[in-house]
Amino acid sequence: MNSSATPQRPSFREALGFWSRLGWISFGGTAAHIAIMHGYLVEKKKWISNGRFLHALSHCMILPGPEAQQLAIYIGWKLHGKKGGLAAGTLFVLPSMFVLLALSLIYVLFGNLPWIAAMFNGLKPAVIALVLLALLKIAGRALRGPVHYVVAAAAFIGMFFFNVSLPLIMLGAVVLGVLLGHLRPSLFHHQNSLETDEDEHEYFINKYSKSSETDFSSKSLVKLVATALLLWLVPFVLFYFFVDDFHFWRGLAFFFTKTAFVTIGGSYTVIPYVAQISVVKLHWLSKLQMMDGFALAETTPGPLIIVVAFVGFMAGYNHFHGSLWMGILGLLATTFYTFLPCFLFVFAGAPIVERTQGKPAVEGVLSLITAVVVGAILDLTLFLGKGVVFPSGTMALRSIDIVSVAWIITSLLLLKKFRLNVVYLILLSVAFGAGRYLIMLHMR
Protein backbone atom coordinates (compact mmCIF):
# COMPACT_ATOMS: atom_id res chain seq x y z
CA MET A 1 0.00 0.00 0.00
CA ASN A 2 1.43 3.41 -0.83
CA SER A 3 1.65 6.45 1.35
CA SER A 4 -1.44 8.02 -0.21
CA ALA A 5 -3.52 5.54 1.74
CA THR A 6 -2.21 6.86 5.05
CA PRO A 7 -5.15 8.02 7.23
CA GLN A 8 -5.65 11.74 7.63
CA ARG A 9 -4.70 13.48 10.85
CA PRO A 10 -7.72 13.43 13.19
CA SER A 11 -9.10 16.85 13.96
CA PHE A 12 -8.24 18.36 17.33
CA ARG A 13 -11.91 18.19 18.23
CA GLU A 14 -12.08 14.46 17.43
CA ALA A 15 -8.96 13.75 19.48
CA LEU A 16 -10.32 15.90 22.30
CA GLY A 17 -13.43 13.73 22.34
CA PHE A 18 -11.35 10.60 22.94
CA TRP A 19 -9.12 12.16 25.61
CA SER A 20 -12.25 13.37 27.40
CA ARG A 21 -13.80 9.88 27.38
CA LEU A 22 -10.53 8.22 28.33
CA GLY A 23 -10.35 10.18 31.56
CA TRP A 24 -13.75 8.87 32.66
CA ILE A 25 -13.36 5.21 31.65
CA SER A 26 -9.73 4.56 32.56
CA PHE A 27 -10.37 2.25 35.50
CA GLY A 28 -8.01 -0.56 36.45
CA GLY A 29 -4.58 0.99 36.70
CA THR A 30 -1.80 1.40 34.16
CA ALA A 31 -2.33 -1.91 32.36
CA ALA A 32 -6.01 -1.21 31.75
CA HIS A 33 -5.27 2.38 30.68
CA ILE A 34 -2.75 1.13 28.13
CA ALA A 35 -5.22 -1.50 26.91
CA ILE A 36 -7.93 1.12 26.34
CA MET A 37 -5.56 3.44 24.47
CA HIS A 38 -4.14 0.60 22.39
CA GLY A 39 -7.59 -0.68 21.48
CA TYR A 40 -8.83 2.73 20.33
CA LEU A 41 -5.74 4.52 19.00
CA VAL A 42 -3.99 1.56 17.34
CA GLU A 43 -6.64 -1.04 16.53
CA LYS A 44 -9.78 1.01 15.95
CA LYS A 45 -8.72 4.46 14.71
CA LYS A 46 -5.22 3.61 13.43
CA TRP A 47 -3.90 6.96 14.61
CA ILE A 48 -0.60 5.38 15.67
CA SER A 49 1.07 2.12 14.67
CA ASN A 50 1.75 -0.66 17.16
CA GLY A 51 5.50 -0.20 16.80
CA ARG A 52 5.36 3.52 17.56
CA PHE A 53 2.93 2.89 20.43
CA LEU A 54 5.26 0.37 22.12
CA HIS A 55 8.29 2.54 21.38
CA ALA A 56 6.68 5.48 23.19
CA LEU A 57 5.46 3.26 26.04
CA SER A 58 8.98 1.96 26.64
CA HIS A 59 10.30 5.51 26.93
CA CYS A 60 7.48 6.50 29.30
CA MET A 61 8.28 3.51 31.51
CA ILE A 62 11.70 4.93 32.36
CA LEU A 63 10.41 8.44 33.12
CA PRO A 64 9.24 9.53 36.58
CA GLY A 65 5.47 9.80 36.82
CA PRO A 66 2.42 7.76 35.74
CA GLU A 67 3.31 5.95 32.51
CA ALA A 68 -0.19 5.90 31.03
CA GLN A 69 -0.70 9.64 31.46
CA GLN A 70 2.69 10.34 29.93
CA LEU A 71 1.87 8.04 27.02
CA ALA A 72 -1.33 10.03 26.47
CA ILE A 73 0.66 13.28 26.60
CA TYR A 74 3.15 11.95 24.05
CA ILE A 75 0.51 10.72 21.59
CA GLY A 76 -1.43 13.97 22.02
CA TRP A 77 1.80 15.83 21.24
CA LYS A 78 2.41 13.69 18.16
CA LEU A 79 -1.09 14.38 16.87
CA HIS A 80 -1.45 18.10 17.59
CA GLY A 81 1.74 19.45 19.12
CA LYS A 82 2.01 20.85 22.63
CA LYS A 83 -1.68 21.83 22.79
CA GLY A 84 -2.56 18.21 22.03
CA GLY A 85 -0.22 16.96 24.74
CA LEU A 86 -1.60 19.43 27.28
CA ALA A 87 -5.18 18.45 26.45
CA ALA A 88 -4.49 14.70 26.59
CA GLY A 89 -2.56 14.81 29.86
CA THR A 90 -4.96 17.19 31.60
CA LEU A 91 -8.13 15.37 30.56
CA PHE A 92 -6.58 12.08 31.66
CA VAL A 93 -6.25 13.35 35.25
CA LEU A 94 -9.17 15.76 35.76
CA PRO A 95 -11.99 13.16 35.94
CA SER A 96 -10.22 11.12 38.61
CA MET A 97 -9.51 14.31 40.54
CA PHE A 98 -13.18 15.36 40.45
CA VAL A 99 -14.38 11.86 41.39
CA LEU A 100 -11.90 11.67 44.26
CA LEU A 101 -12.92 15.15 45.40
CA ALA A 102 -16.56 14.02 45.58
CA LEU A 103 -15.59 10.81 47.40
CA SER A 104 -13.37 12.76 49.81
CA LEU A 105 -16.26 15.08 50.68
CA ILE A 106 -18.56 12.09 51.20
CA TYR A 107 -15.86 10.44 53.30
CA VAL A 108 -15.46 13.30 55.77
CA LEU A 109 -19.17 14.21 55.85
CA PHE A 110 -20.84 10.81 55.96
CA GLY A 111 -18.09 8.26 56.55
CA ASN A 112 -17.27 5.32 54.30
CA LEU A 113 -20.76 4.37 53.14
CA PRO A 114 -21.00 0.59 52.53
CA TRP A 115 -23.32 0.88 49.52
CA ILE A 116 -20.82 3.16 47.75
CA ALA A 117 -18.02 0.70 48.46
CA ALA A 118 -20.23 -2.13 47.18
CA MET A 119 -20.88 -0.35 43.87
CA PHE A 120 -17.18 0.15 43.29
CA ASN A 121 -16.39 -3.40 44.43
CA GLY A 122 -18.40 -4.56 41.44
CA LEU A 123 -15.77 -2.93 39.23
CA LYS A 124 -12.89 -5.01 40.57
CA PRO A 125 -13.63 -8.24 38.62
CA ALA A 126 -14.08 -6.19 35.44
CA VAL A 127 -10.74 -4.51 36.10
CA ILE A 128 -9.08 -7.94 36.30
CA ALA A 129 -10.63 -8.81 32.93
CA LEU A 130 -9.31 -5.57 31.40
CA VAL A 131 -5.82 -6.21 32.76
CA LEU A 132 -5.85 -9.80 31.47
CA LEU A 133 -6.75 -8.60 27.99
CA ALA A 134 -4.00 -5.98 28.14
CA LEU A 135 -1.53 -8.68 29.16
CA LEU A 136 -2.52 -10.92 26.24
CA LYS A 137 -2.42 -8.10 23.67
CA ILE A 138 0.87 -6.57 24.75
CA ALA A 139 2.57 -9.94 25.29
CA GLY A 140 1.49 -11.11 21.84
CA ARG A 141 3.13 -8.10 20.23
CA ALA A 142 6.10 -7.50 22.53
CA LEU A 143 7.48 -11.03 23.05
CA ARG A 144 9.01 -11.59 19.63
CA GLY A 145 12.00 -13.75 20.41
CA PRO A 146 13.52 -16.02 23.08
CA VAL A 147 15.37 -13.16 24.77
CA HIS A 148 12.10 -11.27 25.28
CA TYR A 149 10.42 -14.28 26.89
CA VAL A 150 13.40 -14.76 29.21
CA VAL A 151 13.43 -11.09 30.26
CA ALA A 152 9.64 -11.04 30.82
CA ALA A 153 9.83 -14.22 32.92
CA ALA A 154 12.80 -12.91 34.91
CA ALA A 155 11.01 -9.62 35.57
CA PHE A 156 7.91 -11.42 36.82
CA ILE A 157 9.88 -13.82 39.05
CA GLY A 158 11.94 -10.98 40.49
CA MET A 159 8.89 -8.85 41.32
CA PHE A 160 6.45 -11.55 42.41
CA PHE A 161 8.71 -13.87 44.42
CA PHE A 162 11.59 -11.64 45.53
CA ASN A 163 9.99 -8.15 45.67
CA VAL A 164 12.68 -6.65 43.43
CA SER A 165 11.75 -3.06 42.55
CA LEU A 166 10.63 -2.32 39.00
CA PRO A 167 13.16 0.51 38.46
CA LEU A 168 16.00 -1.88 39.34
CA ILE A 169 14.66 -4.51 36.92
CA MET A 170 14.34 -1.90 34.15
CA LEU A 171 17.92 -0.79 34.80
CA GLY A 172 19.01 -4.41 34.43
CA ALA A 173 17.07 -4.69 31.16
CA VAL A 174 18.77 -1.55 29.82
CA VAL A 175 22.24 -2.90 30.70
CA LEU A 176 21.39 -6.29 29.17
CA GLY A 177 20.03 -4.64 26.03
CA VAL A 178 23.20 -2.57 25.57
CA LEU A 179 25.42 -5.63 26.08
CA LEU A 180 23.42 -7.84 23.72
CA GLY A 181 23.29 -5.06 21.16
CA HIS A 182 27.08 -5.12 21.02
CA LEU A 183 27.74 -8.83 21.55
CA ARG A 184 24.71 -10.54 19.95
CA PRO A 185 22.80 -8.04 17.77
CA SER A 186 21.30 -10.96 15.82
CA LEU A 187 19.02 -11.65 18.81
CA PHE A 188 17.00 -8.57 17.85
CA HIS A 189 16.88 -9.25 14.10
CA HIS A 190 13.77 -11.39 14.47
CA GLN A 191 11.99 -8.48 16.06
CA ASN A 192 12.98 -6.10 13.28
CA SER A 193 11.86 -8.49 10.55
CA LEU A 194 8.46 -8.83 12.16
CA GLU A 195 8.03 -5.08 12.29
CA THR A 196 8.63 -4.75 8.55
CA ASP A 197 5.69 -7.08 7.89
CA GLU A 198 3.29 -4.56 9.36
CA ASP A 199 1.93 -2.13 6.80
CA GLU A 200 2.89 1.07 8.57
CA HIS A 201 1.08 3.19 6.00
CA GLU A 202 -2.24 2.07 7.45
CA TYR A 203 -1.52 4.35 10.41
CA PHE A 204 -1.31 8.12 10.61
CA ILE A 205 1.68 8.00 12.99
CA ASN A 206 4.02 5.32 11.69
CA LYS A 207 7.73 4.61 11.60
CA TYR A 208 8.09 6.81 8.52
CA SER A 209 6.22 9.84 9.86
CA LYS A 210 8.12 12.84 11.13
CA SER A 211 7.12 15.49 13.63
CA SER A 212 7.58 19.20 13.13
CA GLU A 213 8.81 19.50 16.74
CA THR A 214 11.65 16.97 16.76
CA ASP A 215 14.48 19.51 17.07
CA PHE A 216 16.10 19.34 20.49
CA SER A 217 18.21 22.26 21.68
CA SER A 218 19.39 23.70 24.96
CA LYS A 219 17.39 26.84 24.16
CA SER A 220 14.10 24.94 23.86
CA LEU A 221 14.88 22.99 27.04
CA VAL A 222 15.60 26.17 29.00
CA LYS A 223 12.34 27.66 27.70
CA LEU A 224 10.38 24.58 28.80
CA VAL A 225 11.96 24.53 32.26
CA ALA A 226 11.39 28.27 32.70
CA THR A 227 7.73 27.93 31.71
CA ALA A 228 7.23 25.02 34.11
CA LEU A 229 8.94 26.95 36.91
CA LEU A 230 6.74 30.00 36.34
CA LEU A 231 3.62 27.83 36.42
CA TRP A 232 4.91 26.16 39.59
CA LEU A 233 5.36 29.57 41.24
CA VAL A 234 1.84 30.88 40.49
CA PRO A 235 -0.04 29.02 43.26
CA PHE A 236 3.04 29.35 45.49
CA VAL A 237 2.80 33.16 45.31
CA LEU A 238 -0.98 33.07 45.79
CA PHE A 239 -0.53 30.99 48.93
CA TYR A 240 1.96 33.52 50.28
CA PHE A 241 -0.31 36.53 49.86
CA PHE A 242 -3.85 35.20 50.22
CA VAL A 243 -3.91 32.05 52.41
CA ASP A 244 -3.15 31.52 56.09
CA ASP A 245 -0.19 29.44 57.28
CA PHE A 246 2.15 29.73 54.31
CA HIS A 247 4.57 27.31 56.01
CA PHE A 248 2.04 24.48 55.59
CA TRP A 249 1.39 25.23 51.91
CA ARG A 250 5.10 25.58 51.17
CA GLY A 251 5.72 22.15 52.69
CA LEU A 252 2.85 20.64 50.69
CA ALA A 253 4.12 22.14 47.41
CA PHE A 254 7.69 20.94 47.89
CA PHE A 255 6.69 17.48 49.13
CA PHE A 256 4.42 16.64 46.20
CA THR A 257 6.80 18.14 43.65
CA LYS A 258 9.47 15.84 45.06
CA THR A 259 6.98 12.96 44.86
CA ALA A 260 6.58 13.59 41.12
CA PHE A 261 10.33 13.17 40.63
CA VAL A 262 10.58 9.87 42.54
CA THR A 263 7.56 8.14 40.95
CA ILE A 264 9.65 5.72 38.91
CA GLY A 265 8.31 2.22 38.39
CA GLY A 266 4.63 2.92 38.90
CA SER A 267 2.37 4.16 41.66
CA TYR A 268 2.96 1.18 43.93
CA THR A 269 6.61 2.19 44.32
CA VAL A 270 5.86 5.72 45.56
CA ILE A 271 2.68 5.26 47.60
CA PRO A 272 4.55 3.66 50.56
CA TYR A 273 6.88 6.69 50.53
CA VAL A 274 3.95 9.13 50.52
CA ALA A 275 2.24 7.19 53.31
CA GLN A 276 5.38 7.09 55.45
CA ILE A 277 6.08 10.82 55.22
CA SER A 278 2.50 12.16 55.33
CA VAL A 279 1.35 9.87 58.17
CA VAL A 280 4.41 9.30 60.37
CA LYS A 281 6.47 12.46 59.85
CA LEU A 282 4.04 15.22 58.88
CA HIS A 283 0.92 13.85 60.66
CA TRP A 284 -1.36 15.11 57.91
CA LEU A 285 -3.68 12.12 58.27
CA SER A 286 -3.96 8.86 60.20
CA LYS A 287 -2.86 5.43 59.00
CA LEU A 288 -6.53 4.36 58.78
CA GLN A 289 -7.37 7.44 56.69
CA MET A 290 -4.42 6.65 54.40
CA MET A 291 -5.72 3.11 53.89
CA ASP A 292 -9.22 4.44 53.19
CA GLY A 293 -7.77 6.91 50.70
CA PHE A 294 -5.94 4.14 48.89
CA ALA A 295 -9.21 2.18 48.66
CA LEU A 296 -11.05 5.24 47.32
CA ALA A 297 -8.32 5.87 44.73
CA GLU A 298 -8.64 2.26 43.56
CA THR A 299 -12.27 2.95 42.68
CA THR A 300 -11.66 6.06 40.57
CA PRO A 301 -10.63 6.33 36.92
CA GLY A 302 -7.16 7.57 36.10
CA PRO A 303 -3.75 6.76 37.59
CA LEU A 304 -3.55 5.25 41.07
CA ILE A 305 -1.09 7.96 42.09
CA ILE A 306 -4.18 10.20 42.28
CA VAL A 307 -4.35 8.91 45.88
CA VAL A 308 -2.04 11.85 46.65
CA ALA A 309 -5.01 14.13 45.97
CA PHE A 310 -6.84 12.48 48.89
CA VAL A 311 -3.74 12.96 51.04
CA GLY A 312 -3.73 16.65 50.09
CA PHE A 313 -7.44 16.94 50.88
CA MET A 314 -7.05 15.35 54.32
CA ALA A 315 -3.92 17.42 54.99
CA GLY A 316 -5.80 20.67 54.40
CA TYR A 317 -8.95 19.42 56.12
CA ASN A 318 -7.15 18.23 59.27
CA HIS A 319 -4.59 21.03 59.50
CA PHE A 320 -7.27 23.72 59.33
CA HIS A 321 -9.55 22.00 61.87
CA GLY A 322 -12.15 20.43 59.60
CA SER A 323 -12.32 23.12 56.91
CA LEU A 324 -13.83 21.71 53.73
CA TRP A 325 -12.56 24.66 51.70
CA MET A 326 -8.98 24.12 52.87
CA GLY A 327 -9.40 20.43 52.09
CA ILE A 328 -10.51 21.23 48.55
CA LEU A 329 -7.62 23.68 48.13
CA GLY A 330 -5.21 21.04 49.41
CA LEU A 331 -6.53 18.53 46.87
CA LEU A 332 -6.23 20.98 43.97
CA ALA A 333 -2.72 22.08 44.96
CA THR A 334 -1.54 18.50 45.42
CA THR A 335 -2.86 17.45 42.02
CA PHE A 336 -1.21 20.44 40.36
CA TYR A 337 2.21 19.93 41.91
CA THR A 338 2.22 16.16 41.38
CA PHE A 339 1.29 16.18 37.69
CA LEU A 340 2.89 19.41 36.41
CA PRO A 341 6.38 17.81 36.12
CA CYS A 342 4.95 15.01 33.95
CA PHE A 343 4.31 17.48 31.13
CA LEU A 344 7.86 18.81 31.45
CA PHE A 345 9.34 15.30 31.30
CA VAL A 346 7.42 14.39 28.14
CA PHE A 347 7.77 17.68 26.26
CA ALA A 348 11.51 17.76 27.00
CA GLY A 349 11.99 14.09 26.14
CA ALA A 350 9.64 13.72 23.15
CA PRO A 351 12.15 15.03 20.57
CA ILE A 352 14.68 12.50 21.90
CA VAL A 353 12.09 9.74 21.52
CA GLU A 354 11.64 10.80 17.90
CA ARG A 355 15.37 10.67 17.22
CA THR A 356 15.72 7.13 18.60
CA GLN A 357 12.94 5.76 16.38
CA GLY A 358 14.31 3.23 13.92
CA LYS A 359 17.78 2.94 15.48
CA PRO A 360 18.42 -0.81 16.00
CA ALA A 361 20.57 -0.42 19.12
CA VAL A 362 17.99 1.72 20.89
CA GLU A 363 15.07 -0.35 19.61
CA GLY A 364 16.69 -3.47 21.04
CA VAL A 365 17.02 -1.91 24.49
CA LEU A 366 13.46 -0.59 24.41
CA SER A 367 12.12 -3.96 23.30
CA LEU A 368 13.57 -5.47 26.49
CA ILE A 369 11.94 -2.73 28.57
CA THR A 370 8.63 -3.62 26.90
CA ALA A 371 9.27 -7.26 27.85
CA VAL A 372 9.73 -6.08 31.44
CA VAL A 373 6.34 -4.35 31.13
CA VAL A 374 4.79 -7.73 30.27
CA GLY A 375 6.29 -9.27 33.41
CA ALA A 376 5.14 -6.28 35.48
CA ILE A 377 1.58 -6.55 34.15
CA LEU A 378 1.51 -10.26 35.00
CA ASP A 379 2.72 -9.43 38.52
CA LEU A 380 0.05 -6.73 38.82
CA THR A 381 -2.64 -9.10 37.53
CA LEU A 382 -1.85 -11.65 40.24
CA PHE A 383 -1.50 -8.95 42.89
CA LEU A 384 -4.92 -7.48 42.10
CA GLY A 385 -6.48 -10.85 41.32
CA LYS A 386 -5.65 -12.31 44.72
CA GLY A 387 -7.68 -9.60 46.43
CA VAL A 388 -10.67 -10.22 44.18
CA VAL A 389 -10.62 -14.03 44.01
CA PHE A 390 -9.57 -14.50 47.66
CA PRO A 391 -11.16 -11.52 49.46
CA SER A 392 -10.57 -13.08 52.90
CA GLY A 393 -6.83 -13.19 52.26
CA THR A 394 -6.68 -16.97 52.67
CA MET A 395 -5.62 -18.73 49.48
CA ALA A 396 -7.71 -21.89 49.75
CA LEU A 397 -10.44 -23.43 47.60
CA ARG A 398 -13.11 -22.71 50.19
CA SER A 399 -12.10 -19.03 50.20
CA ILE A 400 -12.66 -18.46 46.48
CA ASP A 401 -15.26 -15.81 45.70
CA ILE A 402 -17.23 -17.73 43.07
CA VAL A 403 -19.40 -14.73 42.17
CA SER A 404 -16.38 -12.51 41.45
CA VAL A 405 -14.73 -15.25 39.39
CA ALA A 406 -17.96 -15.60 37.40
CA TRP A 407 -18.01 -11.85 36.73
CA ILE A 408 -14.36 -11.91 35.62
CA ILE A 409 -15.22 -14.61 33.07
CA THR A 410 -18.38 -12.76 32.03
CA SER A 411 -16.43 -9.53 31.57
CA LEU A 412 -13.81 -11.31 29.46
CA LEU A 413 -16.52 -12.75 27.22
CA LEU A 414 -18.27 -9.40 26.88
CA LEU A 415 -15.01 -7.65 25.98
CA LYS A 416 -13.41 -10.32 23.81
CA LYS A 417 -16.26 -12.08 22.06
CA PHE A 418 -18.98 -9.43 21.99
CA ARG A 419 -16.60 -6.43 21.91
CA LEU A 420 -18.64 -4.56 24.50
CA ASN A 421 -17.66 -0.94 24.96
CA VAL A 422 -15.65 -0.40 28.16
CA VAL A 423 -18.09 2.31 29.28
CA TYR A 424 -20.99 -0.14 29.21
CA LEU A 425 -18.93 -2.76 31.05
CA ILE A 426 -18.19 -0.22 33.79
CA LEU A 427 -21.88 0.64 34.15
CA LEU A 428 -22.84 -3.04 34.20
CA SER A 429 -20.18 -3.75 36.81
CA VAL A 430 -21.35 -0.93 39.07
CA ALA A 431 -24.90 -2.29 38.79
CA PHE A 432 -23.56 -5.79 39.49
CA GLY A 433 -21.84 -4.56 42.66
CA ALA A 434 -24.93 -2.72 43.89
CA GLY A 435 -27.20 -5.68 43.11
CA ARG A 436 -24.92 -8.09 44.92
CA TYR A 437 -24.87 -5.84 47.98
CA LEU A 438 -28.68 -5.60 48.06
CA ILE A 439 -29.05 -9.38 47.75
CA MET A 440 -26.57 -9.99 50.58
CA LEU A 441 -28.30 -7.34 52.70
CA HIS A 442 -31.67 -9.03 52.13
CA MET A 443 -30.27 -12.46 53.05
CA ARG A 444 -29.00 -11.32 56.45
- Cβ atoms of residues 379 and 156 within 8 Å: yes
3-state DSSP call for residue 48? strand
pTM score: 0.75
Q: Which of 314, 359, 336, 308 is nearest to 238 (CA)?
A: 336
pLDDT given at position 290? 86
- Cβ atoms of residues 91 and 20 within 8 Å: yes
Rg (alpha carbons) of the chain, rounded to whole number:
22
Residue 187 CB coordination number (10 Å): 18
Residues of the chain with pLDDT under 70: 1-6, 28, 111-113, 189-199, 210-216, 264-269, 272, 295, 357-358
pLDDT given at position 198? 52
Which tens digit of pLDDT belongs to each residue from 348-391? 988 877 777 667 777 788 888 888 888 888 887 887 788 889 98
pLDDT given at position 269? 56
Looking at residue 265, the DSSP 8-state letter turns out to be S
Residue 137 exposure: Cα atoms within 13 Å on the Cβ side: 22
Burial of residue 290 (number of CB atoms within 10 Å: 0-12, 13-18, 19+): buried
